[in-house]
């Protein structure tokens, strides 16, 4: 995502005021990208030298994998980018027939490029490709290695078959920090004249959990929904348990007040929040909850992790959450 310059492609300058901000402010140049400085630095070196290899970009969603490779392609190919880049994402069918036909046809296509440059095929969510499709892709990468480069973006690189991994340089992206997301949100707010409070932006950062795309989408949704970005409006839009309520639960557990903690858990559940949403928010809040000693905090995280595992396995009743509250109270009173 962009730094202070926040370049907007004039070709993409929206006449429609309801254009998604995540697209409106998508970076065009590598210098505009925030976070993952080591990876971006390697991409800048490729941009200067033109020696693009096959790549695997791996990391969590919404942290700039696809955007950074589009920026690199734009800087490498310039105006030829339109004809020399093929992007397929998870919404496209990418079985073996697509690899044999569409991808192969693009690799065979003649395109006028700057000297030393190659066509680029971007496969987003590549870890969802079938095994047969990956095997076919491996052979295609070999045949057209002189004219075409392949970039695979995925969340889990271990789901890419070994023969493809051995033909690619792997770049690992980490999630963005709160400060990086805050900087970007502040810039978007200024450009869109969005009224906001500090606690509103903090709430967006909390709900995004390092995902810049989700942060900007939540900002836009809150603004269009309420015309004002504060903590209360953000949590109405994002529909997550409020961290303040979770902190009250943790405080009650830390003092052994099981009745109040259980009442709060049941009120969240009765409001309609899923057990998974509640337990995920509890985990994220307890990590930064400074009113607990380190030993109790670690024991709390252990119990939360066990309950999280049970909920994922299918035991999603409120009884799991009530049991968690009881165990947290026991941990706090016995330490």
Does residue 7 have a pLDDT over 70?
no
Tell me which of 220, 238, 256 is where a domain ends: 238
Reported as a single tens digit per residue, the pLDDT across 170-215 is 999 998 999 999 999 999 999 999 999 999 999 999 998 889 999 9
Asked whether residue 294 is domain-assigned, the answer is yes
Q: What share of the chain in percent tops pLDDT 70?
A: 93
Contact between 292 and 329 (Cβ < 8 Å)? no
Per DSSP, the three-state class of 176 is coil
Q: What share of the chain in percent tops pLDDT 90?
A: 46
174 contact partners, CB below 8 Å, separation of at least 6: 35, 36, 59, 60, 63
Residues 205 and 251 in one domain: no
pLDDT at res. 115: 80
What are 262's two structure tokens? 């259980």
Does residue 9 have a pLDDT over 80?
no
Residues 128 and 208 in one domain: no
Pick from 284, 276, 218: nearest CA to 246 = 284
Q: CATH code at 165?
A: 3.40.50.300
Residues 117 and 197 in one domain: no
d(CA 184, CA 198): 14
Residues 40 and 156 in one domain: yes
Q: CATH code at 189?
A: 1.10.8.60
Asked whether residue 30 is domain-assigned, the answer is no
Tell me which of 188, 215, 238 is where a domain ends: 238
d(CA 244, CA 315): 26
Q: CATH code at 315?
A: 1.20.272.10
| Structural domain count, the chain | 3
Residues 151 and 82 in one domain: yes
**What does the pLDDT average to over 265-274?**
90
What are 112's two structure tokens? 């006028």
Reported as a single tens digit per residue, the pLDDT across 221-258 is 999 989 999 998 998 888 788 888 999 999 999 999 99
* Per-residue pLDDT band at 83 (split at 50, 70, 90): confident
Residues 219 and 164 in one domain: no
Q: Which residue in the block uniquely carries the two structure tokens 């509250």?
A: 325
Asked whether residue 250 is domain-assigned, the answer is yes
d(CA 1, CA 92): 25
Residues 123 and 194 in one domain: no
Asked whether residue 15 is domain-assigned, the answer is no
Residues 294 and 207 in one domain: no
Residues 154 and 222 in one domain: no
pLDDT at res. 12: 47
Mean of all residue pLDDT scores within the chain: 87
**What does the pLDDT average to over 284-295?**
88
261 contact partners, CB below 8 Å, separation of at least 6: 249, 252, 253, 325, 328, 329
pLDDT at res. 14: 44
Reported as a single tens digit per residue, the pLDDT across 109-129 is 888 887 888 889 998 888 888
The pTM score is 0.80
Asked whether residue 7 is domain-assigned, the answer is no
Per the structure, the complete domain to which residue 281 belongs is given by: 243-334
Residues 233 and 262 in one domain: no
The CA–CA distances, whole Å, from 267 to 5, 246, 250, 286 equal 46, 11, 15, 19
* Per-residue pLDDT band at 303 (split at 50, 70, 90): very high
Pick from 163, 94, 171: nearest CA to 128 = 94
The CA–CA distances, whole Å, from 77 to 55, 141, 252, 272, 306 equal 17, 20, 59, 50, 50
Contact between 171 and 39 (Cβ < 8 Å)? yes
Asked whether residue 187 is domain-assigned, the answer is yes
pLDDT at res. 129: 84
**What does the pLDDT average to over 81-97?**
77
Asked whether residue 8 is domain-assigned, the answer is no
Residues 313 and 248 in one domain: yes
Reported as a single tens digit per residue, the pLDDT across 46-78 is 888 888 889 999 999 889 898 999 999 998 888
Residues 230 and 106 in one domain: no
Asked whether residue 210 is domain-assigned, the answer is yes
pLDDT at res. 4: 38
Tell me which of 121, 148, 172 is where a domain ends: 172
């Amino acid at each position: 995502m962009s730094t202070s310059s926040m370049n907007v492609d004039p070709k993409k300058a929206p006449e429609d005021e309801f254009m998604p901000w995540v697209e409106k402010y998508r970076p065009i140049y590598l210098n505009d990208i925030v976070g993952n400085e080591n990876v971006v630095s390697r991409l800048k070196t490729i941009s200067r030298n033109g020696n693009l290899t096959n790549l695997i970009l791996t990391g969590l969603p919404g942290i700039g994998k696809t955007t950074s490779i589009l920026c690199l392609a734009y800087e490498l190919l310039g105006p030829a980018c339109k004809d020399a880049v093929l992007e397929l994402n998870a919404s496209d069918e990418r079985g073996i027939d697509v690899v044999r036909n569409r991808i192969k046809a693009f690799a065979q296509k003649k395109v006028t490029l700057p000297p030393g440059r190659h066509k680029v095929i971007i496969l987003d969510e590549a870890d969802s490709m079938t095994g047969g499709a990956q095997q076919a892709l491996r052979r295609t990468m070999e045949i057209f290695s002189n004219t075409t480069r392949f970039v695979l973006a995925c969340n889990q690189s271990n789901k890419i078959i070994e023969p493809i991994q051995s033909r690619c340089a792997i770049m690992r992206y980490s999630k963005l920090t709160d400060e990086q997301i805050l900087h970007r949100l502040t810039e978007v707010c200024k450009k869109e004249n969005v009224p906001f409070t500090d606690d509103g932006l903090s709430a967006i950062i909390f709900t995004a959990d390092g995902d810049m795309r989700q942060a900007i989408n939540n900002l836009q949704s809150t603004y269009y929904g309420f015309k004002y970005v504060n903590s209360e409006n953000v949590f109405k839009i994002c529909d997550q348990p409020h961290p303040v309520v979770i902190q009250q639960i943790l405080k009650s557990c830390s003092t052994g007040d099981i009745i109040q903690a259980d009442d709060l858990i049941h009120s969240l559940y009765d409001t309609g929040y899923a057990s998974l949403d509640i337990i995920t928010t509890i985990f994220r809040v307890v990590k930064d909850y400074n009113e607990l000693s380190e030993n109790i905090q670690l024991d709390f995280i252990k119990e939360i992790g066990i309950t999280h595992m049970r909920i994922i396995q299918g035991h999603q009743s409120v009884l799991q959450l009530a049991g968690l509250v009881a165990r947290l109270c026991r941990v706090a009173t016995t330490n």
